[in-house]
Structure 1
Amino acid sequence: MSEEKSLVGQVIDQSSGVLEKAYDDLAHPSAKSLGNTLSLVPRTIGVWLGKWEKWVINGEESICLTAQAVQEKAKNIPEEKLTEPEPYVAIPAVQQLSYCYDSEELRELYANLLVSSMNVDTKHYVYPSFVDIIKQLSPMDAKVLEAMKQEQSPIPVVTVRLNFKESKSYHELLIDYSIDLFQLFGDTSILSASLQNLDRLGIIKIRYDQVVKPDERYDVFYEDAEYKGLVASFQGKENTDITLSKGLIELTEFGKAFCKSCCED
Protein backbone atom coordinates (compact mmCIF):
# COMPACT_ATOMS: atom_id res chain seq x y z
CA MET A 1 0.00 0.00 0.00
CA SER A 2 2.94 2.33 0.68
CA GLU A 3 3.97 1.89 -2.96
CA GLU A 4 0.45 2.84 -4.10
CA LYS A 5 0.39 5.90 -1.83
CA SER A 6 3.71 6.95 -3.29
CA LEU A 7 2.38 6.70 -6.84
CA VAL A 8 -0.84 8.51 -6.02
CA GLY A 9 1.09 11.14 -4.11
CA GLN A 10 2.95 11.94 -7.29
CA VAL A 11 -0.37 12.73 -8.96
CA ILE A 12 -1.76 14.79 -6.11
CA ASP A 13 1.25 16.58 -4.66
CA GLN A 14 3.52 17.16 -7.64
CA SER A 15 2.98 18.56 -11.09
CA SER A 16 5.31 15.85 -12.42
CA GLY A 17 2.94 13.02 -11.40
CA VAL A 18 1.26 10.35 -13.46
CA LEU A 19 -1.03 12.74 -15.34
CA GLU A 20 1.71 15.26 -15.91
CA LYS A 21 4.02 12.51 -17.20
CA ALA A 22 1.34 11.40 -19.62
CA TYR A 23 0.91 15.03 -20.62
CA ASP A 24 4.65 15.34 -21.35
CA ASP A 25 4.74 12.11 -23.34
CA LEU A 26 1.63 12.91 -25.35
CA ALA A 27 1.81 16.64 -25.97
CA HIS A 28 5.42 17.81 -25.97
CA PRO A 29 6.81 15.44 -28.61
CA SER A 30 3.90 16.39 -30.87
CA ALA A 31 4.63 20.08 -30.46
CA LYS A 32 8.34 19.58 -31.11
CA SER A 33 7.67 17.38 -34.12
CA LEU A 34 5.19 19.86 -35.52
CA GLY A 35 7.63 22.73 -35.09
CA ASN A 36 10.28 20.84 -37.04
CA THR A 37 7.78 20.00 -39.76
CA LEU A 38 6.64 23.59 -40.20
CA SER A 39 10.22 24.72 -40.77
CA LEU A 40 10.54 22.32 -43.72
CA VAL A 41 7.37 23.02 -45.71
CA PRO A 42 6.43 25.91 -48.01
CA ARG A 43 4.95 28.97 -46.34
CA THR A 44 1.32 28.44 -47.45
CA ILE A 45 1.24 24.84 -46.28
CA GLY A 46 2.98 25.91 -43.08
CA VAL A 47 0.13 28.35 -42.39
CA TRP A 48 -2.40 25.57 -42.84
CA LEU A 49 -0.54 23.20 -40.55
CA GLY A 50 -0.03 26.02 -38.05
CA LYS A 51 -3.66 25.63 -37.03
CA TRP A 52 -2.75 22.23 -35.64
CA GLU A 53 -0.01 23.81 -33.56
CA LYS A 54 -2.73 25.79 -31.78
CA TRP A 55 -4.57 22.52 -31.17
CA VAL A 56 -1.46 20.99 -29.56
CA ILE A 57 -0.94 24.02 -27.30
CA ASN A 58 -4.60 24.10 -26.29
CA GLY A 59 -4.48 20.37 -25.71
CA GLU A 60 -1.60 20.85 -23.27
CA GLU A 61 -3.64 23.50 -21.46
CA SER A 62 -6.61 21.14 -21.24
CA ILE A 63 -4.49 18.41 -19.66
CA CYS A 64 -2.97 20.87 -17.18
CA LEU A 65 -6.40 22.20 -16.14
CA THR A 66 -7.71 18.69 -15.63
CA ALA A 67 -4.62 17.67 -13.64
CA GLN A 68 -5.25 20.67 -11.37
CA ALA A 69 -8.92 19.68 -10.98
CA VAL A 70 -7.93 16.09 -10.14
CA GLN A 71 -5.46 17.37 -7.56
CA GLU A 72 -8.13 19.58 -5.94
CA LYS A 73 -10.82 16.87 -5.92
CA ALA A 74 -8.46 14.20 -4.61
CA LYS A 75 -7.81 16.29 -1.49
CA ASN A 76 -11.24 15.19 -0.25
CA ILE A 77 -10.29 11.49 -0.38
CA PRO A 78 -8.91 10.08 2.89
CA GLU A 79 -5.33 8.95 2.41
CA GLU A 80 -6.14 5.34 3.25
CA LYS A 81 -8.75 5.33 0.46
CA LEU A 82 -6.36 6.45 -2.27
CA THR A 83 -5.26 3.92 -4.85
CA GLU A 84 -3.46 4.04 -8.17
CA PRO A 85 -5.86 4.53 -11.11
CA GLU A 86 -6.09 1.66 -13.56
CA PRO A 87 -4.00 2.44 -16.67
CA TYR A 88 -6.80 1.25 -18.98
CA VAL A 89 -8.88 4.15 -17.59
CA ALA A 90 -6.27 6.84 -16.88
CA ILE A 91 -4.23 6.65 -20.09
CA PRO A 92 -7.10 6.88 -22.65
CA ALA A 93 -8.75 9.57 -20.50
CA VAL A 94 -5.62 11.73 -20.63
CA GLN A 95 -5.28 11.07 -24.36
CA GLN A 96 -8.81 12.34 -25.00
CA LEU A 97 -8.39 15.48 -22.91
CA SER A 98 -6.59 17.36 -25.66
CA TYR A 99 -9.76 17.20 -27.80
CA CYS A 100 -12.01 19.00 -25.29
CA TYR A 101 -9.84 21.98 -24.38
CA ASP A 102 -12.72 24.39 -25.03
CA SER A 103 -15.30 22.57 -22.86
CA GLU A 104 -15.18 22.89 -19.10
CA GLU A 105 -18.14 20.47 -18.85
CA LEU A 106 -16.29 17.64 -20.61
CA ARG A 107 -13.03 18.29 -18.76
CA GLU A 108 -15.01 18.04 -15.51
CA LEU A 109 -16.34 14.62 -16.53
CA TYR A 110 -12.83 13.35 -17.23
CA ALA A 111 -11.53 14.80 -13.96
CA ASN A 112 -14.32 13.15 -11.97
CA LEU A 113 -13.71 9.85 -13.76
CA LEU A 114 -10.00 9.94 -12.91
CA VAL A 115 -10.69 10.79 -9.27
CA SER A 116 -13.28 7.99 -9.03
CA SER A 117 -10.69 5.54 -10.35
CA MET A 118 -8.31 6.66 -7.55
CA ASN A 119 -10.77 6.00 -4.70
CA VAL A 120 -11.23 2.43 -3.40
CA ASP A 121 -14.87 3.26 -2.53
CA THR A 122 -15.81 4.31 -6.08
CA LYS A 123 -13.41 2.62 -8.49
CA HIS A 124 -15.70 -0.44 -8.80
CA TYR A 125 -18.28 1.85 -10.45
CA VAL A 126 -15.76 2.78 -13.16
CA TYR A 127 -16.01 1.00 -16.51
CA PRO A 128 -13.30 1.41 -19.17
CA SER A 129 -16.07 2.25 -21.64
CA PHE A 130 -16.81 5.47 -19.72
CA VAL A 131 -13.83 7.13 -21.45
CA ASP A 132 -15.31 6.33 -24.86
CA ILE A 133 -18.76 7.50 -23.75
CA ILE A 134 -17.45 10.92 -22.68
CA LYS A 135 -15.73 11.11 -26.06
CA GLN A 136 -19.19 10.86 -27.68
CA LEU A 137 -20.83 13.53 -25.51
CA SER A 138 -21.27 17.19 -26.37
CA PRO A 139 -21.13 19.94 -23.74
CA MET A 140 -24.94 20.08 -24.05
CA ASP A 141 -25.17 16.35 -23.27
CA ALA A 142 -23.08 16.90 -20.15
CA LYS A 143 -25.42 19.72 -19.02
CA VAL A 144 -28.52 17.61 -19.67
CA LEU A 145 -27.06 14.75 -17.68
CA GLU A 146 -26.20 17.06 -14.80
CA ALA A 147 -29.75 18.45 -14.86
CA MET A 148 -31.25 14.94 -14.93
CA LYS A 149 -29.17 13.99 -11.93
CA GLN A 150 -30.61 16.98 -10.05
CA GLU A 151 -34.22 16.34 -11.09
CA GLN A 152 -36.55 13.81 -9.56
CA SER A 153 -36.26 10.55 -11.52
CA PRO A 154 -37.99 9.41 -13.64
CA ILE A 155 -38.84 12.53 -15.64
CA PRO A 156 -42.10 12.88 -17.64
CA VAL A 157 -41.64 13.13 -21.42
CA VAL A 158 -44.13 13.37 -24.29
CA THR A 159 -44.22 13.15 -28.06
CA VAL A 160 -46.84 15.32 -29.76
CA ARG A 161 -48.40 13.85 -32.92
CA LEU A 162 -50.50 15.32 -35.70
CA ASN A 163 -52.83 12.51 -36.76
CA PHE A 164 -54.32 12.20 -40.25
CA LYS A 165 -57.60 10.32 -39.80
CA GLU A 166 -58.25 9.24 -43.40
CA SER A 167 -54.81 7.75 -44.02
CA LYS A 168 -54.42 6.63 -40.40
CA SER A 169 -50.91 8.06 -40.40
CA TYR A 170 -49.28 10.71 -38.27
CA HIS A 171 -46.49 13.26 -38.16
CA GLU A 172 -44.48 13.89 -35.00
CA LEU A 173 -44.45 17.62 -34.18
CA LEU A 174 -42.52 17.43 -30.90
CA ILE A 175 -40.35 14.42 -30.13
CA ASP A 176 -39.21 13.44 -26.64
CA TYR A 177 -40.30 16.77 -25.18
CA SER A 178 -39.47 17.24 -21.50
CA ILE A 179 -40.71 20.43 -19.85
CA ASP A 180 -38.49 19.82 -16.82
CA LEU A 181 -35.39 19.97 -19.03
CA PHE A 182 -36.75 22.37 -21.67
CA GLN A 183 -37.05 25.09 -19.05
CA LEU A 184 -33.30 24.81 -18.54
CA PHE A 185 -32.21 24.71 -22.19
CA GLY A 186 -35.03 26.23 -24.23
CA ASP A 187 -34.53 24.49 -27.60
CA THR A 188 -36.73 21.46 -28.30
CA SER A 189 -34.80 20.06 -31.28
CA ILE A 190 -31.34 20.31 -29.66
CA LEU A 191 -32.65 18.92 -26.38
CA SER A 192 -34.39 16.04 -28.18
CA ALA A 193 -31.19 15.16 -30.06
CA SER A 194 -29.21 15.28 -26.81
CA LEU A 195 -31.66 12.96 -25.02
CA GLN A 196 -31.60 10.53 -27.93
CA ASN A 197 -27.80 10.48 -27.87
CA LEU A 198 -27.79 9.71 -24.14
CA ASP A 199 -30.35 6.98 -24.80
CA ARG A 200 -28.21 5.55 -27.63
CA LEU A 201 -25.22 5.38 -25.28
CA GLY A 202 -27.25 3.46 -22.69
CA ILE A 203 -27.02 6.17 -20.02
CA ILE A 204 -30.74 6.93 -20.02
CA LYS A 205 -33.82 5.13 -21.29
CA ILE A 206 -36.63 6.97 -23.08
CA ARG A 207 -39.70 4.80 -22.91
CA TYR A 208 -43.37 5.12 -23.80
CA ASP A 209 -44.51 1.79 -22.38
CA GLN A 210 -44.60 3.31 -18.89
CA VAL A 211 -45.69 6.62 -17.40
CA VAL A 212 -44.71 8.64 -14.34
CA LYS A 213 -47.08 8.50 -11.39
CA PRO A 214 -49.17 10.38 -10.45
CA ASP A 215 -50.62 11.08 -13.88
CA GLU A 216 -51.17 14.74 -12.89
CA ARG A 217 -47.47 15.34 -13.53
CA TYR A 218 -48.38 15.46 -17.25
CA ASP A 219 -50.93 18.24 -16.79
CA VAL A 220 -48.23 20.87 -17.29
CA PHE A 221 -47.85 19.77 -20.92
CA TYR A 222 -51.45 20.69 -21.74
CA GLU A 223 -50.85 24.18 -20.36
CA ASP A 224 -47.46 24.57 -22.05
CA ALA A 225 -47.16 27.40 -24.59
CA GLU A 226 -45.36 25.16 -27.08
CA TYR A 227 -48.17 22.60 -27.04
CA LYS A 228 -50.94 25.21 -27.11
CA GLY A 229 -49.31 26.88 -30.10
CA LEU A 230 -49.32 23.62 -32.05
CA VAL A 231 -52.98 22.97 -31.19
CA ALA A 232 -53.92 26.50 -32.33
CA SER A 233 -52.00 26.08 -35.60
CA PHE A 234 -53.99 23.02 -36.68
CA GLN A 235 -57.32 23.83 -35.06
CA GLY A 236 -60.22 23.60 -37.50
CA LYS A 237 -58.36 21.57 -40.12
CA GLU A 238 -60.48 18.64 -41.27
CA ASN A 239 -59.52 15.01 -40.68
CA THR A 240 -56.71 15.90 -38.28
CA ASP A 241 -56.24 15.97 -34.56
CA ILE A 242 -53.35 16.29 -32.14
CA THR A 243 -52.54 13.71 -29.51
CA LEU A 244 -49.96 13.59 -26.78
CA SER A 245 -48.13 10.32 -26.12
CA LYS A 246 -46.92 10.05 -22.52
CA GLY A 247 -43.67 8.45 -21.48
CA LEU A 248 -40.74 8.83 -19.13
CA ILE A 249 -36.98 9.28 -19.06
CA GLU A 250 -34.95 7.40 -16.47
CA LEU A 251 -31.32 6.70 -15.76
CA THR A 252 -30.31 3.11 -16.49
CA GLU A 253 -28.26 1.16 -13.96
CA PHE A 254 -25.31 1.69 -16.28
CA GLY A 255 -26.17 5.39 -16.37
CA LYS A 256 -26.29 5.56 -12.58
CA ALA A 257 -22.79 4.06 -12.45
CA PHE A 258 -21.67 6.62 -15.04
CA CYS A 259 -23.09 9.50 -12.99
CA LYS A 260 -21.52 8.08 -9.83
CA SER A 261 -18.13 7.97 -11.55
CA CYS A 262 -18.21 11.07 -13.75
CA CYS A 263 -20.80 13.50 -12.38
CA GLU A 264 -20.17 13.48 -8.64
CA ASP A 265 -18.16 16.41 -7.26
Structure 2
Amino acid sequence: MEQNQVAEIATEVLKERSKDIYDDGLKSATREGGEALQTIVGLFNNVVLYPVKKANITFKYKLEQFEQDLKRKTEKTPSHKLIEPPLAIAGPTLEALKYTFDTKELREMYINLLSTSMNVDTVILTHPAYVDIIKAMSPLDAIVFQRASKMGQIPCSRVTIGFDEKVYINAMPKIFIPDLLDTENPFLLSSSVENLCRLGLLTHSDNTIIGYDYDLFRNHDFVRLQFEKCKAINTEVELKININGDVLFVNDFGKNFAKACLSDNE
Protein backbone atom coordinates (compact mmCIF):
# COMPACT_ATOMS: atom_id res chain seq x y z
CA MET A 1 0.00 0.00 0.00
CA GLU A 2 1.36 3.45 -0.92
CA GLN A 3 2.27 5.95 1.79
CA ASN A 4 -0.42 8.48 0.79
CA GLN A 5 -3.08 5.74 0.96
CA VAL A 6 -1.95 4.82 4.47
CA ALA A 7 -2.15 8.47 5.48
CA GLU A 8 -5.68 8.81 4.10
CA ILE A 9 -6.85 5.69 5.95
CA ALA A 10 -5.20 6.86 9.17
CA THR A 11 -6.92 10.21 8.86
CA GLU A 12 -10.35 8.61 8.49
CA VAL A 13 -9.71 6.30 11.46
CA LEU A 14 -8.68 9.25 13.61
CA LYS A 15 -11.78 11.17 12.59
CA GLU A 16 -14.03 8.31 13.68
CA ARG A 17 -12.04 7.77 16.87
CA SER A 18 -12.23 11.47 17.73
CA LYS A 19 -16.01 11.41 17.28
CA ASP A 20 -16.33 8.47 19.65
CA ILE A 21 -14.09 10.07 22.22
CA TYR A 22 -16.05 13.32 21.91
CA ASP A 23 -19.34 11.54 22.60
CA ASP A 24 -17.88 9.52 25.48
CA GLY A 25 -16.19 12.56 26.96
CA LEU A 26 -19.40 14.56 26.90
CA LYS A 27 -21.45 11.83 28.55
CA SER A 28 -18.79 11.13 31.18
CA ALA A 29 -18.18 14.77 32.08
CA THR A 30 -21.91 15.47 32.26
CA ARG A 31 -22.57 12.46 34.47
CA GLU A 32 -19.68 13.15 36.83
CA GLY A 33 -19.92 16.92 37.14
CA GLY A 34 -23.23 18.06 35.80
CA GLU A 35 -21.79 21.55 35.42
CA ALA A 36 -20.89 23.50 32.29
CA LEU A 37 -17.27 24.10 33.23
CA GLN A 38 -16.61 20.46 34.09
CA THR A 39 -18.23 19.39 30.85
CA ILE A 40 -15.88 21.48 28.73
CA VAL A 41 -12.79 20.55 30.76
CA GLY A 42 -13.77 16.90 30.36
CA LEU A 43 -14.18 17.34 26.62
CA PHE A 44 -10.81 19.05 26.38
CA ASN A 45 -9.20 16.18 28.28
CA ASN A 46 -10.78 13.50 26.11
CA VAL A 47 -10.84 15.17 22.70
CA VAL A 48 -7.96 17.61 22.51
CA LEU A 49 -5.47 15.76 24.68
CA TYR A 50 -6.22 12.25 23.44
CA PRO A 51 -3.46 12.13 20.81
CA VAL A 52 -1.11 13.88 23.23
CA LYS A 53 -1.74 11.29 25.91
CA LYS A 54 -1.01 8.52 23.46
CA ALA A 55 2.33 10.18 22.69
CA ASN A 56 3.03 10.51 26.44
CA ILE A 57 3.64 14.27 26.19
CA THR A 58 2.99 16.80 28.98
CA PHE A 59 -0.78 16.58 28.69
CA LYS A 60 -1.32 17.22 32.41
CA TYR A 61 0.15 20.69 32.08
CA LYS A 62 -2.08 21.49 29.10
CA LEU A 63 -5.18 20.24 30.91
CA GLU A 64 -4.36 22.36 33.95
CA GLN A 65 -3.62 25.38 31.77
CA PHE A 66 -6.89 25.01 29.87
CA GLU A 67 -8.90 24.62 33.06
CA GLN A 68 -7.24 27.68 34.63
CA ASP A 69 -7.80 29.78 31.50
CA LEU A 70 -11.45 28.79 31.21
CA LYS A 71 -12.09 29.44 34.90
CA ARG A 72 -10.44 32.84 34.58
CA LYS A 73 -12.63 33.72 31.60
CA THR A 74 -15.85 32.60 33.28
CA GLU A 75 -15.19 33.69 36.89
CA LYS A 76 -17.25 36.89 36.48
CA THR A 77 -20.24 34.98 35.09
CA PRO A 78 -22.88 34.36 37.80
CA SER A 79 -23.30 30.65 38.39
CA HIS A 80 -26.99 30.75 37.49
CA LYS A 81 -26.07 32.16 34.07
CA LEU A 82 -23.33 29.61 33.32
CA ILE A 83 -24.52 27.14 30.69
CA GLU A 84 -23.06 24.35 28.62
CA PRO A 85 -22.02 25.79 25.25
CA PRO A 86 -23.78 24.73 22.06
CA LEU A 87 -22.06 21.70 20.58
CA ALA A 88 -21.82 23.58 17.27
CA ILE A 89 -19.40 25.91 19.08
CA ALA A 90 -17.74 23.57 21.58
CA GLY A 91 -17.03 20.72 19.16
CA PRO A 92 -15.20 22.64 16.40
CA THR A 93 -13.46 24.87 18.96
CA LEU A 94 -12.02 21.98 20.93
CA GLU A 95 -11.01 20.25 17.71
CA ALA A 96 -9.19 23.39 16.57
CA LEU A 97 -7.39 23.68 19.91
CA LYS A 98 -5.59 20.43 19.11
CA TYR A 99 -3.46 22.31 16.65
CA THR A 100 -3.23 25.79 18.19
CA PHE A 101 -3.06 25.28 21.95
CA ASP A 102 0.59 26.31 22.05
CA THR A 103 -0.10 29.50 20.08
CA LYS A 104 -1.16 31.96 22.78
CA GLU A 105 -2.86 34.55 20.55
CA LEU A 106 -5.14 32.00 18.88
CA ARG A 107 -5.71 29.91 22.01
CA GLU A 108 -6.96 33.03 23.78
CA MET A 109 -9.47 33.68 21.00
CA TYR A 110 -10.81 30.12 21.13
CA ILE A 111 -11.16 30.15 24.92
CA ASN A 112 -12.85 33.55 24.79
CA LEU A 113 -15.29 32.13 22.25
CA LEU A 114 -16.00 29.18 24.54
CA SER A 115 -16.54 31.39 27.59
CA THR A 116 -18.84 33.71 25.63
CA SER A 117 -20.91 30.70 24.56
CA MET A 118 -21.16 29.55 28.20
CA ASN A 119 -23.02 32.66 29.35
CA VAL A 120 -26.78 32.73 28.80
CA ASP A 121 -26.59 36.48 28.14
CA THR A 122 -23.76 36.38 25.57
CA VAL A 123 -24.21 33.05 23.80
CA ILE A 124 -26.23 34.91 21.15
CA LEU A 125 -23.03 36.68 20.08
CA THR A 126 -21.34 33.43 19.08
CA HIS A 127 -21.40 31.78 15.68
CA PRO A 128 -19.87 28.48 14.45
CA ALA A 129 -18.24 30.39 11.57
CA TYR A 130 -16.00 32.16 14.08
CA VAL A 131 -14.03 28.96 14.59
CA ASP A 132 -13.11 28.81 10.92
CA ILE A 133 -12.20 32.50 10.94
CA ILE A 134 -9.73 31.97 13.79
CA LYS A 135 -8.36 28.92 11.95
CA ALA A 136 -7.55 31.18 9.01
CA MET A 137 -5.67 33.68 11.19
CA SER A 138 -1.99 33.84 12.06
CA PRO A 139 -0.70 35.07 15.44
CA LEU A 140 0.09 38.39 13.76
CA ASP A 141 -3.47 38.58 12.40
CA ALA A 142 -4.79 38.13 15.94
CA ILE A 143 -2.56 40.90 17.28
CA VAL A 144 -3.45 43.25 14.42
CA PHE A 145 -7.19 42.65 14.82
CA GLN A 146 -7.03 43.16 18.58
CA ARG A 147 -5.25 46.48 18.03
CA ALA A 148 -7.63 47.56 15.24
CA SER A 149 -10.70 46.79 17.36
CA LYS A 150 -9.55 49.43 19.86
CA MET A 151 -8.77 52.16 17.35
CA GLY A 152 -11.93 53.01 15.43
CA GLN A 153 -11.06 54.65 12.11
CA ILE A 154 -7.45 53.99 11.10
CA PRO A 155 -5.77 56.21 8.50
CA CYS A 156 -3.97 54.29 5.77
CA SER A 157 -2.74 54.95 2.26
CA ARG A 158 -1.66 53.52 -1.04
CA VAL A 159 1.79 55.11 -1.11
CA THR A 160 3.65 54.89 -4.41
CA ILE A 161 7.12 55.97 -5.42
CA GLY A 162 7.84 56.70 -9.08
CA PHE A 163 8.04 59.19 -11.94
CA ASP A 164 5.62 60.18 -14.70
CA GLU A 165 3.08 57.32 -14.80
CA LYS A 166 5.56 54.67 -13.64
CA VAL A 167 5.94 53.37 -10.09
CA TYR A 168 8.22 50.93 -8.31
CA ILE A 169 5.64 48.25 -7.51
CA ASN A 170 7.80 46.53 -4.87
CA ALA A 171 8.90 49.68 -3.09
CA MET A 172 5.86 49.98 -0.83
CA PRO A 173 3.18 47.62 0.50
CA LYS A 174 -0.30 47.79 -1.00
CA ILE A 175 -1.71 49.23 2.24
CA PHE A 176 0.51 51.44 4.39
CA ILE A 177 -0.85 51.63 7.97
CA PRO A 178 1.90 52.83 10.34
CA ASP A 179 -0.54 53.92 13.05
CA LEU A 180 -1.86 50.38 13.41
CA LEU A 181 1.34 48.60 14.44
CA ASP A 182 4.39 50.71 13.71
CA THR A 183 6.88 48.14 15.02
CA GLU A 184 5.89 45.50 12.47
CA ASN A 185 7.31 44.99 8.99
CA PRO A 186 5.02 47.16 6.78
CA PHE A 187 4.76 44.45 4.12
CA LEU A 188 3.76 41.77 6.66
CA LEU A 189 1.31 44.20 8.22
CA SER A 190 -0.26 44.93 4.85
CA SER A 191 -0.58 41.20 4.16
CA SER A 192 -2.19 40.65 7.55
CA VAL A 193 -4.70 43.46 6.98
CA GLU A 194 -5.59 42.06 3.55
CA ASN A 195 -6.29 38.68 5.14
CA LEU A 196 -8.47 40.24 7.84
CA CYS A 197 -10.38 42.10 5.12
CA ARG A 198 -10.76 38.82 3.22
CA LEU A 199 -12.18 37.21 6.36
CA GLY A 200 -14.73 40.00 6.58
CA LEU A 201 -13.52 41.49 9.87
CA LEU A 202 -12.01 44.72 8.53
CA THR A 203 -13.10 47.08 5.76
CA HIS A 204 -10.62 49.02 3.64
CA SER A 205 -12.31 52.06 2.09
CA ASP A 206 -11.03 54.72 -0.30
CA ASN A 207 -12.83 57.36 1.76
CA THR A 208 -10.68 59.72 3.81
CA ILE A 209 -10.81 60.75 7.45
CA ILE A 210 -11.92 64.39 7.70
CA GLY A 211 -9.22 66.52 9.24
CA TYR A 212 -6.45 63.93 9.06
CA ASP A 213 -3.19 65.09 7.44
CA TYR A 214 -2.23 62.24 5.09
CA ASP A 215 0.93 64.12 4.10
CA LEU A 216 2.40 62.85 7.37
CA PHE A 217 2.94 59.55 5.57
CA ARG A 218 5.26 61.27 3.13
CA ASN A 219 7.82 61.93 5.87
CA HIS A 220 7.52 58.59 7.62
CA ASP A 221 10.93 56.97 8.21
CA PHE A 222 10.05 53.85 6.21
CA VAL A 223 8.72 55.84 3.26
CA ARG A 224 11.85 57.99 3.20
CA LEU A 225 14.05 54.89 3.38
CA GLN A 226 12.27 53.26 0.43
CA PHE A 227 12.39 56.54 -1.46
CA GLU A 228 16.18 56.76 -1.06
CA LYS A 229 16.55 53.15 -2.22
CA CYS A 230 14.59 53.91 -5.38
CA LYS A 231 16.64 57.04 -6.01
CA ALA A 232 19.83 55.00 -5.79
CA ILE A 233 18.50 52.62 -8.44
CA ASN A 234 17.58 55.35 -10.91
CA THR A 235 19.51 58.60 -10.52
CA GLU A 236 18.48 60.07 -13.87
CA VAL A 237 14.85 60.83 -13.07
CA GLU A 238 13.04 62.94 -10.51
CA LEU A 239 11.09 60.64 -8.23
CA LYS A 240 7.92 61.59 -6.41
CA ILE A 241 6.01 60.15 -3.47
CA ASN A 242 2.28 59.92 -4.12
CA ILE A 243 -0.23 59.56 -1.31
CA ASN A 244 -3.79 58.27 -1.81
CA GLY A 245 -5.55 58.60 1.54
CA ASP A 246 -7.81 55.74 2.65
CA VAL A 247 -9.38 54.52 5.86
CA LEU A 248 -9.46 51.14 7.60
CA PHE A 249 -12.02 50.14 10.23
CA VAL A 250 -13.60 47.19 11.98
CA ASN A 251 -17.00 46.60 10.38
CA ASP A 252 -20.18 45.41 12.15
CA PHE A 253 -19.35 41.73 11.59
CA GLY A 254 -15.86 42.33 12.98
CA LYS A 255 -17.25 44.16 16.01
CA ASN A 256 -19.49 41.22 16.84
CA PHE A 257 -16.57 38.82 16.35
CA ALA A 258 -14.52 40.98 18.73
CA LYS A 259 -17.25 40.83 21.39
CA ALA A 260 -17.28 37.05 21.17
CA CYS A 261 -13.58 36.29 20.74
CA LEU A 262 -11.67 39.10 22.44
CA SER A 263 -11.68 40.01 26.11
CA ASP A 264 -11.12 43.31 27.84
CA ASN A 265 -8.18 42.00 29.87
CA GLU A 266 -6.12 40.88 26.88
TM bin (shorter chain):
0.7 to 0.9
- Contact 1:59–1:97 (Cα < 8 Å) also in 2: no
Deviations 1:120-142 (A, max 9, x none): 22221111100111111111111
Structure 1's unaligned 5+ residue stretches are 1-5, 35-52
Q: Which residues in structure 2 correspond to 1:81-96 (within 5 Å)?
A: 81-96=81-96
Q: Distance in 2 between matches of 1:8 and 1:163?
A: 67
Q: Distance in 2 between matches of 1:201 and 1:126?
A: 16
Q: Distance in 2 between matches of 1:140 and 1:253?
A: 22
Name 1:21's counterpart in structure 2.
42
Structure 2's unaligned 5+ residue stretches are 1-30
Tell me which of 216, 223, 243 is aligned to 2:219.
223
Shift of 1:61: 4.9
Deviations 1:39-67 (A, max 9, x none): xxxxxxxxxxxxxx37xx46775455233
- Contact 1:66–1:110 (Cα < 8 Å) also in 2: no
Shift of 1:114: 0.5
Identity of aligned residues (%): 29
Runs of 4+ in structure 1 deviating by more than 6 angstroms, as ranges, are 6-9
- Contact 1:82–1:119 (Cα < 8 Å) also in 2: yes
Q: Distance in 1 between matches of 2:82 and 2:32?
A: 10
- Contact 1:199–1:205 (Cα < 8 Å) also in 2: yes
Q: Distance in 1 between matches of 2:70 and 2:217?
A: 42
Tell me which of 202, 209, 212 is aligned to 1:212.
209
Instruction: Confirm or deny that 1:260 pairs with 2:259.
Output: yes
Shift of 1:263: 0.7
Name 2:16's counterpart in structure 1.
none
- Contact 1:8–1:82 (Cα < 8 Å) also in 2: no
Name 1:241's counterpart in structure 2.
240
Name 1:203's counterpart in structure 2.
201
2:35 alignment partner AA = Q
Instruction: Confirm or deny that 1:10 pairs with 2:35.
Output: yes
SS at match of 1:205: strand
Aligned residues: 230
1:255 alignment partner AA = G
2:211 alignment partner AA = P
What is the RMSD of the two structures over their aligned residues, measured on CA atoms? 2.7
2:243 alignment partner AA = L
Higher mean alpha-carbon deviation, 236-245 vs 104-113, is at 236-245
- Contact 2:203–2:250 (Cα < 8 Å) also in 1: yes
Per the alignment, do residues 7 and 59 of structure 1 end up closer, same or farther by CA in structure 2, a change over 3 Å counting? Answer: closer
- Contact 2:200–2:253 (Cα < 8 Å) also in 1: yes
Q: Distance in 1 between matches of 2:161 and 2:58?
A: 48
SS at match of 2:179: helix
